[in-house]
């Protein structure tokens, strides 16, 4: 186990292992409900079993843990201090899988918005990104607002 984490951080990280219904995901779902846009959860028929799928709009929202999915430049995506080879192999496989799934989805005409767990703290910005991504009120949307971080 990583021995450099506080118990709280460790349990937070453990819940990220292919985690479903994580707190960040619940926050995103709450925002979606407030927009009235219908969605399905954890759709196994699609590559990577995406978290939130809005089939009519051909849109997918993926909520990712920064550590497990290696959020670029994020302080939560730190290098594990112990068993580095084991962790690097595992984490690199996660990133490769994410990329592959995104490529297949985009080939099939799906638009994918990735929301990182560290981004849910700014609820206003998150709401705006989701609303722009779903084109609920596109007049106020700048392309950068929904760009992947």
**What is the contact surface with Zn ion in residues (CB under 5 A)?**
66, 71, 74, 76, 116, 118
- C-alpha 3/C-alpha 41 separation (Å) is 34
- Taking the complex as a whole, the smallest distance from the CB of residue 6 to Zn ion amounts, in Å, to 17
8-state DSSP, 80: P
Q: Tell which residue, 70, 148, 60, has the closest CA to residue 105.
A: 60
- Taking the complex as a whole, the smallest distance from the CB of residue 65 to Zn ion amounts, in Å, to 8
Q: Is the Cβ of residue 54 or residue 115 nearer to Zn ion in the bound state?
A: 115
Q: Is the Cβ of residue 39 or residue 67 nearer to Zn ion in the bound state?
A: 67
Q: Is the Cβ of residue 59 or residue 71 nearer to Zn ion in the bound state?
A: 71
- Taking the complex as a whole, the smallest distance from the CB of residue 67 to Zn ion amounts, in Å, to 8
- Taking the complex as a whole, the smallest distance from the CB of residue 36 to Zn ion amounts, in Å, to 29
- C-alpha 126/C-alpha 32 separation (Å) is 11
Q: Is the Cβ of residue 114 or residue 118 nearer to Zn ion in the bound state?
A: 118
Exposed e or buried b for every residue in 80-116, given b needs 16+ CB within 10 A? beeeeeeeeeebeebeeebeebbeebeeeebbbbbbb
């Amino acid at each position: 186990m990583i021995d450099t984490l506080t118990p709280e951080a460790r349990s937070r990280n453990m819940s990220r292992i292919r985690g479903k219904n994580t707190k960040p995901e619940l926050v995103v779902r709450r925002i979606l409900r407030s927009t009235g846009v219908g969605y399905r959860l954890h759709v196994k028929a699609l590559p990577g079993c995406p978290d939130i799928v809005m089939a009519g709009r051909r849109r997918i929202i993926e909520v990712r843990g920064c550590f497990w999915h290696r959020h670029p430049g994020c302080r939560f995506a730190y290098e594990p201090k112990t068993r580095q080879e084991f962790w690097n192999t595992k984490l690199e496989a996660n990133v490769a899988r994410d990329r592959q799934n995104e490529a297949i989805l985009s080939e099939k005409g799906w638009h994918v918005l990735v929301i990182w767990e560290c981004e849910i703290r700014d609820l206003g910005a998150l709401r705006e990104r989701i609303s722009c991504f779903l084109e609920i009120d596109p007049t106020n949307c700048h392309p950068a607002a929904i760009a992947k971080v």
